[in-house]
Structure formats: structure tokens, C-alpha cells
Amino acid sequence: MLDPLRIPAATWSDPGVRDALSRRDVGALFRRISQLTGASQTRIGGAVGLEQGYVSRVMAGRKVTSIEVLERIADGCRMSDEARAALGLAPRNRPCQDDMALPPPQRQSDPPVGRSWREDIRAAAQLWEGDVKRRDVIRQMAFSSAGYTLPALRWFTAPAPRNVEQTGLHTVGQPDIETIREMSATYRRLDNQYGGGHSRYAVARYLHQEVAPILKDGHYETSTGRNLLSAVAELTQLAGWQAYDVADHGVAQLYFTRALELAQAAGDAGLGAETLAAMSHQATYLGHGVTGVDLARAAKQTANRAGLTVLTAEATVMEAHAHASLRDERACTAALHQAEITLDRADRSSTPQWLGYFNEAYLSAKFGHCFRALGKPAQAERFAARSLRMDEQYVRGKAFNLALLATTQAQQGEAERACAIGAEALTLTARLRSARAIRYVRELQTELTPCRQRGSVQQFIRRIDAVLGTRR
């Protein structure tokens, strides 16, 4: 693991750095930082959330004009307010620190930037357009756990706008909002049945071509405006989930962040909690357990505020999974117990449609993942088997659960049973466009490798490679 990039405070007074900032020449800035600190392109990219290849092209002369990317660079480099101003960015109102490592989640000296809801719309529209046009500046974004710190802090500290109204050319009414929500429901159903890759770019195009003009040019009063932003936030969150499912993790992080901002502008605490839970899910999946715990707790607190008990249960089980990834068995089992109790007393009559997937089968699957992460395959197997009592419309979820069950069996030395169940998981995975489904089957393949001399295991491993491609 790379050491965090540390840039001394004196760097921002260096003549070469000041000249690069004044010209907004990010390539020259990166080259000078590399000279002063000895940082490689990979370390610089890791700090600012960009792929090494993109950093290399920037250092070779490629221009950076996106405010989104400039903000990410400024945050990752921990620029002083004077340096940010030279780059044309708003100040963070914080002193420049000698230790320029990425900020821990509990840091309180970094207040979020004051932004209007119109700026949130512009940021979201810029993301949709960049995604649709496959711009490198979007596609080369890398996931950074620290990238969730300021959005989560802003969620708790920035007040929702009083007036979300606009005098535009075209009147926006309830039918427009219902159309967006119906599109969300349709794309969510496709996502569950075929995986995120099936319609990810279709959702991005719809947001860019149909939704952005309504937001930017529409005429609406505050009540309609909030409902509109809530509907758009829901679809944006789904786009983030699809990007996450196909392993576009940096893009997914951008979508989740934009969704959280739109939910805040809409005053929709429930959707904000769901988005924070999704952010926790992604962080834990990528091995950032501490961030996963923090985001899950933020989601739980928000769900309590929204009065959605089912959502509180979901956030609690996300926290449990993050604890399990950190091998904290005591904290994990306590959270699992609380999640189970909370779901038992939940009133499902007021559950939003986007939360319909969270039920006893989903909870059992999360229990299974937790116990597997804790190295307890026998307990994990019991819950994985229980998770298969599920709605058949969730094809991707069933593929996950079958792979989980087979993996727990393989870990207990039951190779024949694991191959039989794994074959079902592979059949479903072959129909999906889901990097997560592929990863779970590959993990099963790894568990079976010690038994590959057995005929049935060897045959199944060959089938996996035939369907998914030979493993490198």
C-alpha cells in the first residue's frame, strides 16, 4: 500500500507552483510537486483520485478544465485557501497544514463549501454530460474513500434551501415528476434482472438529454421543485449503483455524491439515508471498512430522522458488514442483532418503492456475508441458504446468494455440493452484466482451486473459464 502524499505547506509559496496555479496548468503543477516531493504519478493519482494514466497525460500537456476535477485535485493535495484562489476555486476556510495526508472522517476543521441548489444541479448536469460523452476526465476517476468525507459532512451541516423555485420557459408539473419516477422504477427493475451494465448508459443519456433541460430551463414553485429534485436524486443514485455494479467505482462515487447533494436540496432525508448506505456498501466492498462504518452510521442517523425503520435496519446491517470486513466480531454481531430487531418491528406500509428489495432474504444474505468475512463458514452457510427464499425477480441478487452459499460450502470442504450450487450461480451470472457477480464466482473458483484434482471440480473450473474467460 502506498504511503499518503504529503506536501509541505511551503510548497504553495514555491514560485513554480504559484505560476502553475495562476495559469491553471495542472500538468506543470503535478510536475513541480513531483520534483519537490519525489512523488510518483501513481502516488499523485492516488491522492487526487485520478488514474495514473490520466495523470501521465496531464503531465504531458493535457489541459484540465473541469471544476469537478480541479476541486478533487485541490482537496487531494490539501491546498491552502490562497492556492485554491489562485486556481480559481472557492476557499475552504481552513489553515494549510504541514501534514498533507488525506483527512480522516472525524476531522472537524474542514467545513463544507457553501453551495446553492442551482450549483448542485449544474454539477450533476456536468457529470451526466461527461459520462454520456465518455470524457476521459470522468472515466479516469478513481475511487477515494476520503472523497466521501466532505459530502457526508455537508449532508449534516448545510441547511436545505428554503426556496427551490425557478422561472423558466417550460412549466414543470406532477406528470413530469411521475415520468422520471416511472423511468427510475423501470431501470431499477432492469438493473435487478440483468445487472448494471445492461442500462447504465441509457440512464445517463436519459438524465443528460431529458432531465437536465427540465432542471435548468423549467418553471416550478418550491413544492414542485423539491419533488422534482427528489425524483432526480433517486435516478442519479441508481446510476451510481449501476456504475458500482460494473466496477466503474470512481464514476459511481461521483454519482452517489451528486445524488446526496440533490437529496439534500430536495429535503429528502430518506433518500439521503439510502444514498449514504450505498456509499457505505461501496466503501466496504472496496476494502475501506472504517469509511464503511462511518457512512453506515451516518445513514442510520439520517434514517432515524426520516422515521423509516426499514431504512434504519438496512443502515445497521451495512454497519455490521463494515465491522466484519475489519474483523471486529463483537461490533459486527451487536449490529446484526440490532438490525434484526429493528426490521422485525418495522411498518412496511410506508416503505418507499426504491427500498422494496430490503427484506428478510436480503438481511439473511448480509448476515451470510458478515459471517463469511469473519471466517465462520458454517454460520454463513445457514444464512446463505435462508437468503434463497427470495423474490425471483432479483436475478442478480440470486446469483450473489448462490455464489455465497457455494463458497461457504467450499470453505468447509464440501467441493461436490459447492460445484453443484456454483453451477447455478454461473448460469445466472452468464446472463448478467455485473462485475460484482463475476467477482463472487471467481472467489468461489479460488476456494475450489485446492481441490482441482477432483474430476468434478476440474470440470467446473474449466466451465467457469469458458463462460467468464480464462483467469489471468
The predicted pLDDT at position 4 comes to 62
- Residue 10's pLDDT is 82
| 410-439 core/surface letters (b: 16 or more CB in 10 A; e: else) | bbeebbeebbebbebbbebbeebbbbbbbe
Residue-by-residue pLDDT tens, the chain, 472 positions? 455 677 888 888 888 888 888 888 999 999 989 888 888 888 888 788 787 888 888 898 888 877 778 888 888 888 888 888 788 777 665 433 333 333 333 333 344 445 689 999 999 999 999 999 887 767 778 888 888 988 998 899 888 888 899 998 889 999 999 999 999 999 999 999 999 999 999 999 999 999 999 999 999 999 999 999 999 999 999 999 999 999 999 999 999 999 999 999 999 999 999 999 999 999 999 999 999 999 999 999 999 999 999 999 999 999 999 999 999 999 999 999 999 999 999 888 778 888 889 999 999 999 999 999 999 999 999 999 999 999 999 999 999 999 999 999 999 999 999 999 999 999 999 999 999 999 999 999 999 999 988 999 999 999 999 999 877 6
In sequence order, the β-bridge partners of residue 143 are none
Rounded to an integer, what distance in angstroms lies between the CA atom of residue 357 and that of residue 359?
6
Which residue segments constitute the domains of the chain, with CATH numbers given? Answer: 1-90 (1.10.260), 116-267 (no CATH), 372-472 (no CATH)
Concatenate the DSSP letters of all residues of 255-283 into one string.
HHHHHHHHHHHHT-HHHHHHHHHHHHHHH
Nearest to 211 by CA among 179, 238, 189, 186: 179
At 111 the pLDDT is 40
- The pLDDT assigned to 23 comes to 85
Looking from the CA of 182 toward its CB, the CA atoms found within 13 Å total: 6
Going from the C-alpha of 160 to that of each of 37, 181, 267, 424, 443, the distances in angstroms are 41, 22, 6, 47, 43
Residue 74: predicted pLDDT = 86
pLDDT of residue 105: 37
Are 231 and 190 a contacting pair, CB within 8 Å? Answer: no
